[in-house]
């Protein structure tokens, strides 16, 4: 495998050019929108529902089912259809995949020109799931398992439930997410009523993920594993010091290497060329520093689709742990809630097999009067319960800020 560094960031590839301004698609997001997706390369707005996945979507049958959806859409006269949606963390859970009745494409959002008024803070009760003390105990149990089993890393998550009796403006929330996360993957999709064909259910999945699981454009693939995190500081000097300390952190470099190695091993059998940088770089969001590695390659078989690549990778140690089976078992035992689509993948695929799938993090389930936020942290032998509580609290900030909620740190610990 070729391991030399790329000269250019493939996430900043030439945007798809269309006459439609991307920001117009954000402005047009409304009750009839079933899918919105904005990446560093392109923007999609899907309206209506043509067809959707009816069965739970067993992993082995998913590619066939997606192919049938696309073929049916083409036969129905939908030009250049896509299958959009999200796959869950656990392969036994139901995927939410569908063909929008109408799909409008554009290039990258002009983030500096997004009209985003200051959010009106939601007013209501905030509840931790689980309580911080329960999460603290779960991290302690993980540390015990590192000492007594072959487990090397496990990602443990928690949630916040925000009740807003006054209602939630989904469009305003999406606009905030897009405006303040210019280098990420901003998404919103209807989850639909289970077992029915109605598109009137208000429940949505919304977020702004910093992490690309994988994309395929022609035979070129890109993956961007992210692991190793520190909260940012409002003081510029301290903020820069935190970034540099993350880049030098033995604990975080080890956690990151576990993820990159797993990604490379999963992709290598599918690629004729795979370029894996020897060291990570720093990236930042509005609230966090991350260690990031951009993996670039060429698929050996042109029939290998973006969905095939995503399924080969998921779940990476960035959202599950290592070894995978032991980590998955620990998550089932130590997390007192079902993840559902959180830490799965969200994105799209077209008839050619091209597509993009982002890791479903920095996200929330949004109902008419309730938001459930999720955040997780990678636990390794050098972790402490206190540091992981702080990390998850910082990760909640992406959604909390978008909702105008300035929750004191001590209320999340």
User: Which active-site residues does the annotation give?
Assistant: 153, 211
Q: Are 369 and 158 in contact (CB under 8 A)?
A: no
Token duo for residue 407: 């929750």
SS3 label, residue 74: helix
Residues 6+ apart with CB under 8 A from 82: 44, 46, 70, 99, 100, 103, 348, 349, 350, 355
Token duo for residue 371: 């938001």
Q: Which residues pair with 281 in a beta bridge?
A: 292
Token duo for residue 152: 């090397």
| Cα distance between residue 96 and residue 187, in whole Å | 14
| Cα distance between residue 232 and residue 235, in whole Å | 9
Q: Are 58 and 91 in contact (CB under 8 A)?
A: yes
| Cα distance between residue 67 and residue 85, in whole Å | 14
| Cα distance between residue 34 and residue 26, in whole Å | 13
Between strands 345-350 and 281-284, the pairing is unpaired
């Amino acid at each position: 495998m070729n391991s030399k560094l790329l000269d250019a960031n493939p996430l900043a590839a030439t945007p798809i050019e269309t006459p439609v301004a991307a920001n117009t698609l954000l402005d047009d997001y409304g009750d009839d929108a079933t899918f919105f997706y904005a990446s560093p390369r392109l923007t999609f707005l899907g309206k209506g529902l043509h067809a959707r996945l009816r069965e739970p979507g067993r992993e082995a049958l998913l590619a066939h089912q997606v192919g049938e959806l696309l073929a049916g859409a083409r036969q129905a006269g939908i030009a250049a259809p896509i299958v959009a949606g999200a796959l869950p963390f656990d392969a036994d859970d139901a995927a939410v995949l569908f063909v929008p009745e109408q799909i409008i494409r554009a290039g990258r959002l002009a983030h500096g020109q997004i009209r985003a008024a200051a959010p009106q803070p939601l007013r209501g009760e905030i509840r931790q799931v689980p309580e911080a003390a329960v999460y603290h105990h779960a991290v302690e149990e993980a540390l015990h398992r590192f000492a007594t089993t072959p487990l090397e890393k496990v990602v443990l998550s928690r949630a916040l439930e925000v009740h807003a009796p006054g209602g939630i403006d989904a469009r305003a929330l999406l606009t905030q997410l897009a405006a303040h996360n210019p280098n990420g993957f901003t998404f919103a999709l209807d989850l639909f009523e289970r077992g029915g064909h109605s598109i009137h259910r208000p429940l949505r999945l919304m977020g702004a993920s910093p992490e690309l699981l994988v994309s395929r454009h022609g035979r070129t693939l890109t993956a961007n594993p992210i692991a190793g995190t520190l909260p940012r500081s409002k003081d510029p000097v301290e903020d820069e010091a935190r970034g540099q300390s993350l880049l030098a952190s033995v604990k975080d470099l080890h956690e990151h290497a576990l993820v990159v190695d797993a990604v490379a091993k999963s992709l290598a059998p599918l690629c004729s060329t795979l370029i894996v940088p020897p060291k990570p770089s720093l990236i930042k969001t509005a609230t966090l520093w991350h260690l990031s590695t951009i993996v670039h390659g060429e698929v050996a078989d042109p029939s290998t689709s973006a969905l095939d690549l995503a399924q080969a990778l998921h779940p990476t140690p960035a959202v599950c742990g290592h070894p995978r089976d032991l980590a998955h078992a620990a998550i089932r035992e130590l997390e007192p809630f079902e993840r559902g689509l959180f830490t799965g993948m969200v994105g799209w695929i077209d008839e050619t097999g091209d597509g993009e799938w982002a890791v479903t993090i920095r996200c929330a389930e949004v109902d008419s009067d309730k938001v459930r936020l999720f955040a997780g942290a990678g636990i390794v032998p050098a972790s402490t319960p206190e540091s992981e509580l702080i990390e998850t609290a910082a990760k909640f900030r992406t959604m909390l800020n978008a909702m105008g909620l300035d929750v004191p740190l001590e209320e999340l610990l």
